[in-house]
Amino acid sequence: MASVVTLTTDFGTADGYVGAMKGVIAEIAPQARVIDLTHDIPHGDVRGAAFALYRAVPYYPPDSVHCVVIDPGVGTARRALAVRTEGRQYLVGPDGGAFTLFCPPFSDAVPEAVELSEPRWWRAGHDLSATFHGRDIFAPVAAHLARQIETGDADLEVFGPRARRLRRFEVPAPVEERDAYRGEVVHVDHFGNAITNLPERWVAAHPEAPVIAEAGGKAMPVVRTYGDVRSGDLCALVGSAGWLEVACRDGSAADRLGLAPGIPVVLRRTAPRARPLS
């Protein structure tokens, strides 16, 4: 079975850097199915990459390889990694934080990881460039890993020694109070929806009372889907990845409310609903 290699970068495509990575992969692993996950991560936005991966990676067949190059630290001492997640997805890229959401508390297990220190898997016959490890280390390693998966003998440890403590960005835990749950925006997506750190379960745990959300100085209903409010109205709803999102139907909640990572979002229980007489 042909293996899958996805690519996630902040390179854009116009300069040809991504094109070079695809050429390297086509040379090493001509059978692999190469899939563009995205090249439009904002420059250096490790957090944006982490959320893109979190939304996409779990839907791939096990043993897919995801090459992720957001690398402002290229040429410094930052580590180069290959990681196997709890769900048997492989992640290859610099240790800059993009794999945060595949580590506890977002996964149950600590993922296995190795440091890419074995030059025999890098681009062959050339000096290593000091500025483009996407082409010279990460694409070749992803391609070799894909080949090994095709032949059934993938072994992370051939690429280098075990690596501990992946670099992670902080996602603050929400704070539960008596009738409220205080969280914050952790990411704003391309539609202007603001993803928060408030998990689905708190909303689901309080079906007996209407819950409202507050963000950017406005209160809004917590609904099931965009269609539950009118065009242009604000709402909060559990997004496709399981976290509460602040949204505006047919518009951008982030623009409307000035939302950005770190801005508080509060879920508040209102007076209990009167039970209908039966």
Smallest gap from residue 54 Cβ to its own copies (A): 7
Q: Does 99 bind its own copies (CB under 8 A)?
A: no
How far are the Cα atoms of 38, 57, 111, 154, 174 from residue 144, in angstroms, in the given order? 21, 20, 20, 9, 41
Q: Does 130 bind its own copies (CB under 8 A)?
A: yes
Q: Does 90 bind its own copies (CB under 8 A)?
A: no
Q: Is residue 196 within 8 Å of 246, Cβ to Cβ?
A: yes
Judged by CB under 8 A, the stretch of 54-62, 108-116, 176-184, 205-213 that binds its own copies is 54-62
Smallest gap from residue 62 Cβ to its own copies (A): 9
Question: Which residues between 205 and 224 bind its own copies (CB under 8 A)?
Answer: 224
Compare residues 27 and 179 and give the one whose CB is closer to its own copies: 27
Using CA atoms, how far apart are residues 33 and 37, in angstroms rounded to an integer?
12
Question: Which residues between 141 and 200 bind its own copies (CB under 8 A)?
Answer: 189-191
Q: Does 23 bind its own copies (CB under 8 A)?
A: yes
* Candidate list 47, 54, 100, 171; residue touching its own copies; CB under 8 A: 54
In degrees, to the nearest 5, what angle opens at C-alpha 54 toward C-alphas 50 and 58? 145
Q: Does 127 bind its own copies (CB under 8 A)?
A: no
Tell me the number of residues near its own copies by CB under 8 A: 72
Q: Is residue 250 within 8 Å of 232, Cβ to Cβ?
A: yes
Compare residues 54 and 90 and give the one whose CB is closer to its own copies: 54
Compare residues 176 and 250 and give the one whose CB is closer to its own copies: 250
Q: Does 79 bind its own copies (CB under 8 A)?
A: no
